[in-house]
Amino acid sequence: MFRLTHKTLNGLAALSLLALGCTSTSAPPPGDADAAELLEVSESRTEETSTGDDTDALEPPADIHDSTDGWEAVSACDGAYGEPLEALKLPGTKLLEISGLVSSRLNSGVFWAHNDSGALPELWAFSADGLQTRLNVTGAQAYDWEDMARASCPGGDSDCLWVADMGNNLKNREELSVIVIREPKLNGESEVSASPEAIYTFSYPDDTMDAEALLVTPAGDRFFVLEKSDGDTARVFSSPEPLTTEGVMTLIELTTFDSPGEPIPYGKMVTAADLHPSGERLAVRCYTGSWEYRFMDGQGLEHLGEITPTFVALGPLEEPQGEAIAYGAAGLDLYTASEDPNALGSQPLHRYPCLP
């Protein structure tokens, strides 16, 4: 996690700050050249994705959440995604530093989210009706929670929430963890508690690094980590098989891939990712926008460097420090959210509808 400086954002300055994603105390803010470059990229993306059929005029589905009441009703978007729509406002000041986000299948219309470094070990459930429930995770620490996933629990009997405590900006943490919590069925409680089903402790094979993107297979038998790097490429790491809570697992470097982010300062940093419930899609969030990788038959994450990602969107500007992305419960739509650097308590959750 970085920190944004508190400045007035308007015009090209807003584009500039979006392109940067944030400013640290050691890095100067980008100049107008970076902003102009991002604006040019945005215009060229519009031209590239135009088909002559006025795609923007297509009517997206009317609902704001592609929910499902059953485990089997999962689809994937085969076409383009529409422009971001504001699905709802994040609830008050409880998620000012939202970093992990998933949609629930067990609780219809509900999202789960968490804050990053400095927060308590807790998850928040919210919906279009506002904040619903605080889930207190007992017996777990929250050093720097950076991403989460929804996947089967160990044993595969229900859905669990997998949380990655792996923030490592200073690259001084050698042991990190993934905390697995069984998702509770909510019945209007303002607060519930749960202890972890498992805590998987891990390290990297050769060096320490920073990462903010966690992926978990739908079966819950393997997890992956995407490196957060300002370079052109990022590494993909896999847990060994089988998962074990005994000792420290050493992750396996699986492959590298070209970061889909725009080539401006901090623009290529991967800040979040989500594996589709089918395992056949991968959504990746960078500070400068979102992309989706669509696997062909026989392809998996080890082939990520061979796949040209599908462009979803740049920005949007209303997300100055975007660090969260998730598929909707039925797998059709995408959702993104940003930290709230000005602590206003009204950051939007954006929905990218799958166009017909």
* Tally of structural domains, the chain: 1
pTM of the predicted model, to two decimals? 0.85
* CA 328 – CA 64 distance, rounded (Å): 10
* CA 101 – CA 106 distance, rounded (Å): 15
In which element (H, E) is residue 180 found?
A: strand 176-182
Q: One-letter amino acid identity for 272?
A: A
3 is a domain residue: no
Domain that holds residue 306: 11-352
55 DSSP assignment:
G
103 is a domain residue: yes
83 is a domain residue: yes
Strand 198-203, strand 248-250: pairing: parallel
Local confidence pLDDT in tens for the 356 residues of the chain = 544 333 222 332 333 344 343 333 223 333 333 444 444 554 455 444 433 333 333 344 434 445 444 444 689 999 999 999 999 999 889 999 999 999 999 999 999 999 999 899 999 999 999 988 999 999 999 999 999 999 999 988 899 999 999 999 999 999 999 999 999 999 999 999 999 999 999 999 999 999 999 999 999 999 999 999 999 999 999 999 999 999 999 999 999 999 999 999 999 999 999 999 999 999 999 999 999 999 999 999 999 999 999 999 999 999 999 999 999 999 999 999 999 988 988 899 999 999 98
Which among 312, 340, 341, 314 is positioned nearest to 326, based on CA atoms?
Answer: 312
5 is a domain residue: no
* CA 150 – CA 181 distance, rounded (Å): 10
Task: Count Cα neighbours of 140 within 13 Å in the Cβ-side half-sphere.
Answer: 31
237 is a domain residue: yes
74 is a domain residue: yes
Q: What CATH number should be reported for the domain holding residue 183?
A: 2.120.10
* CA 196 – CA 60 distance, rounded (Å): 38
Q: Which residue has the tokens 């050769």?
A: 206
- Note the maximum CA span of the chain: 57
